[in-house]
């Protein structure tokens, strides 16, 4: 996760940005969205507020902050622009629309964000031990939605891999489905999640899964397997699913084993 920056006493992390471009691909984007967190401890998952800030090209003020953002390479609202709205942001995570009015970036609408609308843990995952999200400490981000973490409950600081939803999820389905598939399949070729993350305060909801951190790179393992090293192929099995999350994915398809 990016490191926070101080903006007038607020700790702000730029999470991501997106834009909408008209049919003329060479034109300036028509609108943009900045996703930020405020007063979040980047090592703790249960802290801070999340905001999705929407803005559009302002034809009435050529020097508007939103126009400046749409013209820059990152499409980020500047720190000076955010400083104008940070004191007025709501106390709960929200989606806000902003526009420059009379020279100041102004919040024009607020919609509460359903941050805790995560899916319930289904019965087939109840066999996997559950752990509270607030007991995890992020050590390092490996890929979007994939972190190395330690747990407060562990007596040692042995790192594990936590595969989670993004800070502001678009959909909750793929990660939950992945956990259900991994829990269902029983094979020596599959590294299964050892724990399911949840929020105790808000009920038993699914937030992600974690498993062991392997001290080698994915490509090294895949190359070894592809070259026939120490792989016991089962009959016509031609693919192998690994819960290695270094590359931000859990499924790898390998070439056929010799003789299959």
CATH 3.30.200.20 fits 123-252, yes or no: yes
pLDDT, the chain, mean: 76
Domain locations in the chain as residue ranges: 5-112, 123-252
77-116 per-position pLDDT tens digit:
999 999 999 999 999 889 999 999 999 999 999 998 765 5
- Note every long-range contact of 185-189, with CB atoms under 8 Å and residues 24 or more positions apart, other chains counting: 185/241, 187/234, 188/232, 189/237, 189/240, 189/241, 189/242
Closest CA to 14 of 32, 28, 27, 29: 32
Sequence length of the chain is: 260
- Predicted pLDDT of residue 222: 55
38-82 per-position pLDDT tens digit:
998 888 887 889 899 999 999 999 999 999 999 998 899 999 999
How far is C-alpha 98 from the chain's CA centre?
Answer: 24
Element (H, E) at 253: none
> Is residue 142 exposed (0-12), middle (13-18) or buried (19+ Cβ within 10 Å)?
middle
Q: DSSP string covering 172-240, please? A: SHHHHHHHHHHHH---TT----SEEEE-STT-SB--EEEEEPPSS-HHHHHHHHHTT-S----TT---E
Query: Higher-confidence residue: 33 or 170?
Result: 33
139-158 per-position pLDDT tens digit:
888 877 888 888 876 655 66
- Contact, 65 vs 78, CB < 8 A? yes
Helix (H, G, I), strand (E, B) or coil at 65: helix
Query: Higher-confidence residue: 100 or 164?
Result: 100
- Predicted pLDDT of residue 179: 85
First to last CA, the chain: 43
Query: Higher-confidence residue: 38 or 206?
Result: 38
- Predicted pLDDT of residue 1: 62
Helix (H, G, I), strand (E, B) or coil at 80: helix
The pair of three-digit structure tokens given for residue 221, joined into one six-digit string: 């393992």
In the numeric block, the tokens 């490509």 are attached to 219
Query: Higher-confidence residue: 154 or 251?
Result: 154
Query: Higher-confidence residue: 76 or 2?
Result: 76
211-232 per-position pLDDT tens digit:
877 655 555 555 655 555 444 3
Q: Give me the torsion for CA of 186, 192, 194, 195, rounded to 10°.
A: -100
Q: How many CB atoms lie within 10 A of CB 75?
A: 17
User: What percentage of the chain has pLDDT greater than the value 70?
Assistant: 69
User: What percentage of the chain has pLDDT greater than the value 90?
Assistant: 29
């Amino acid at each position: 996760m990016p490191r926070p920056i101080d903006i007038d006493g607020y700790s702000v992390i730029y999470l991501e940005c997106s834009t909408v471009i008209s049919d003329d691909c060479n034109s300036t984007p028509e609108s943009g969205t900045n996703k930020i967190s405020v007063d979040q401890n980047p090592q703790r998952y249960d802290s801070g507020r999340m905001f999705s800030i929407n803005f559009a090209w302002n034809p009435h003020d050529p020097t508007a902050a939103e126009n400046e953002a749409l013209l820059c390479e990152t499409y980020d609202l500047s720190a000076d622009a955010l400083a104008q709205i940070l004191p007025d942001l709501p106390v709960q995570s929200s989606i806000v629309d902003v526009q420059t009015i009379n020279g100041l970036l102004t919040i024009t609408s607020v919609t509460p964000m359903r941050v805790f609308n995560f899916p319930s843990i289904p019965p087939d995952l109840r066999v996997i031990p559950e752990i509270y999200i607030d007991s995890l400490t992020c050590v390092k981000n490996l890929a979007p939605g994939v972190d190395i973490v330690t747990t407060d409950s562990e007596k040692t600081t042995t790192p594990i891999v936590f595969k989670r939803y993004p800070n502001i999820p678009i959909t909750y389905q793929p990660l939950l489905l992945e956990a259900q598939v991994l829990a269902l399949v029983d094979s020596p070729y599959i590294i299964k999640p050892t724990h399911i993350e949840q929020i105790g305060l808000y009920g038993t909801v699914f937030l992600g899964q974690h498993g062991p951190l392997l001290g080698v790179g994915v490509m090294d393992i895949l190359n070894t397997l592809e070259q026939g090293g120490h792989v016991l192929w089962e009959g016509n099995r031609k693919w192998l699913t690994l819960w290695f999350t270094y590359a931000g994915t859990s499924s790898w398809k390998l070439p056929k084993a010799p003789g299959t």
